[in-house]
Structure 1
């Protein structure tokens, strides 16, 4: 049967963009993009970094809710998203929201009960923790804020994004034809070239782009032997078979299984981050498995992994994915943020604005060496006017499967996907 070898996913970038727009920019005063630090805003602690488990738990719940909604749109094709990218982008925009709009975003992000300062400081600490995770794993998180010249923004909004998200702030002439090129250049640089474009053009109503980019590149703790990679049959969801390169390996892994699936954790570097692969058993399928894919079940499954000898066969694959998230986020309770009559982003600017679109792009490659992945989220805001011995396991990923890249120390899920066709 097919042998699927997951090899290189350099988690290239998670980029999140918030595009803000205004009804009328004429006559507006120049933007205050570099306000003086206020007495009420503190920068993240530099010494002892404590990751807030409430934020990670909220991100986990948001991840699976968002993934479930995305599958309603694209359940019959390959899906690969970065919920962390979307969450960071929305958290940055959250600083500009007010009233019911802010509450709706908090609900979608599962952050009810957390204050704005808690959310910001927790995101800052999580960023620091993730970036210092493993010398054998490259993980960088970069943020930037691109503001239209001549438009006023609330100093507190700019300052919080600088202090807690380390956002690079640039005042840009959006009427200049080269403006999109400058923004896309930053995206390309901070995603190591895996995502080269997120802004096609800039409308007259657009006043801001708030971008988050995350890049990950990790080598397997135990690389796959390329000489063991061979074409094997992979069975598609409709029963058809195709030949595809499958990687093979044998050793000791963190592994779990039940009546529904087999699952294995393949570590990168020194083991802090791993690729988790969930393979539905022959008497089940990926669609049935996805119905059980909740934050609660995920936490339960994570506790059942234990060291076990076995063999793993994984497909080598590379793919790109793109989706508009407005529909999915509205289903999670954020609809008011898109409503031109109700959206309230008055903590961002005096200009009445709303979120117009949320575009998400990803890239992922898995090979014998490791993993590379990239994600960009573009949020457009438009003006409104004791162990027992067990037998070795054998796991052949030769049919549609689910996978996720997780930081094992914090529990943060960086990427997740459903692979129905590795080609």
Structure 2
């Protein structure tokens, strides 16, 4: 019998707001400790997709693994928790799950101009009982809902789950599941839908086609947004990259990292929580003439091929011990599918009309530094210290 895990995300950057304040960051519980899980996973995904776009949510992936760990036992649980950076000698397991709960509850709090919808759901085969302690634990700690479904009719079960995913992601992700069969007994879904307005929008009248160099020899034309204004900025001379932070309304910030020519691999190899903390702490507001592509990218990953690189192996074999979920011993995870998408675009007409005068005034500043994202770059969406999304843009 098999489990089928799905992670689906939609990240949208819609029409911007005329607001011009850089708002104070709202404090949220810190992200549960990790063995640099975010960047180990990123490097594994990037290595499997050379020269391609990469986009994923470390929060989503780590959440579904943490849920699995609640029902895993023995070495199966140890491998999962080890990949997530849990150290039983330094932290109690109850605190680990409690930190996750506080984080998820904090992230789902309502805030003006900022929408973050996240959740977890289990679709369990009709007539198959899951452990009640497991069900109550994941409902309390991970806000997970449980639904009964008939896997003996795979087509109907597939439609029911896909319809659920589509509703939760505002129709952005559809037909995620395409190969259910009658041997599947449970599907675990994690979803994140993020929608926020820029604090400082781009003027769509300034968007023009410009060259984007995928390599020094290969280029394509992309719609390049432009705005001269104050942004968070840091030049990391040690890693030969520039970091630009663009706040959304609310408290999330998009960070765009532009490596120097030929320095992408160096920056990727240096990615860590320490590096990210340095960037977020050292960025200062500065007048920039910013050129940023308008783009939409998505990524779909079969993580059962990636997790073994992080030390998570048992759950995909007959050595899997998921006895905390089911009383049966012959259960393993067949697939872990993760899908994420992002759209980055300029502000809409309403925002432009409210910022036009300021835009022309700002253009008079003589000390603006021009930053042009016309070659491969990295991006991350952070809420306080939590990395919601991370990726690499090789071809906008």
Query: What TM-score results when the alignment is normalised by the length of structure 2?
Result: 0.84
Q: Does structure 1 residue 171 correspond to structure 2 residue 148? A: yes
Instruction: Please say which of residues 76-85 and 198-207 is displaced more in the overlay.
Output: 198-207
**What stretches of structure 1 of length at least 5 have no aligned partner?**
1-7, 13-48, 371-389
Which residue in 2 is equivalent to 1:354?
332
CA contact (8 A) 2:301 2:337 kept: yes
Q: Does structure 1 residue 416 correspond to structure 2 residue 379? A: no
What is the CA–CA distance in structure 2 between the aligned matches of 1:9 and 1:143, rounded to whole Å?
A: 17
CA contact (8 A) 2:11 2:341 kept: no
Which residue in 1 is equivalent to 2:40?
65
Larger proportion of helix: 2
Which residue in 2 is equivalent to 1:95?
70
What is the CA–CA distance in structure 2 between the aligned matches of 1:127 and 1:254, rounded to whole Å?
A: 27
Aligned CA distance change for structure 1 residues 400 and 50 (closer, same or farther; 3 Å): closer
CA contact (8 A) 1:95 1:116 kept: no
**What stretches of structure 2 of length at least 5 have no aligned partner?**
1-9, 15-25, 349-365
After TM superposition, give the deviation of residue 311 of structure 1 in Å: 1.5
Correspondent of 2:241 among 255, 261, 264? 261
SS of the residue corresponding to residue 321 of structure 2 reads coil
Which residue in 1 is equivalent to 2:382?
406
SS of the residue corresponding to residue 12 of structure 2 reads coil
What is the CA–CA distance in structure 1 between the aligned matches of 2:326 and 2:216, rounded to whole Å?
A: 51
Correspondent of 2:371 among 382, 395, 402? 395
Which residue in 2 is equivalent to 1:17?
none
After TM superposition, give the deviation of residue 51 of structure 1 in Å: 5.1
SS of the residue corresponding to residue 65 of structure 1 reads helix
Give the alignment's Cα RMSD to 1 decimal: 2.2
What is the CA–CA distance in structure 2 between the aligned matches of 1:52 and 1:315, rounded to whole Å?
A: 33
What is the CA–CA distance in structure 1 between the aligned matches of 2:97 and 2:124, rounded to whole Å?
A: 21
Aligned CA distance change for structure 1 residues 400 and 267 (closer, same or farther; 3 Å): same
Deviations 1:54-101 (A, max 9, x none): 61x42x821111001111100311111111111111111111101111
What is the CA–CA distance in structure 2 between the aligned matches of 1:169 and 1:78, rounded to whole Å?
A: 34
SS of the residue corresponding to residue 248 of structure 1 reads strand
What is the CA–CA distance in structure 1 between the aligned matches of 2:195 and 2:242, rounded to whole Å?
A: 26
Which residue in 1 is equivalent to 2:121?
144
Which residue in 2 is equivalent to 1:311?
289
Q: Does structure 1 residue 292 correspond to structure 2 residue 294? A: no
Query: What TM-score results when the alignment is normalised by the length of structure 1?
Result: 0.79
Deviations 1:196-254 (A, max 9, x none): 12222432321111211111001100111000100011111252122111000111111
Deviations 1:99-156 (A, max 9, x none): 1111110011112234342233222211121122631111011221111012122111
Which residue in 2 is equivalent to 1:160?
137
Aligned residues, how many?
A: 353
After TM superposition, give the deviation of residue 339 of structure 1 in Å: 2.3
SS of the residue corresponding to residue 308 of structure 1 reads strand
After TM superposition, give the deviation of residue 193 of structure 1 in Å: 0.8
What is the CA–CA distance in structure 2 between the aligned matches of 1:139 and 1:369, rounded to whole Å?
A: 19
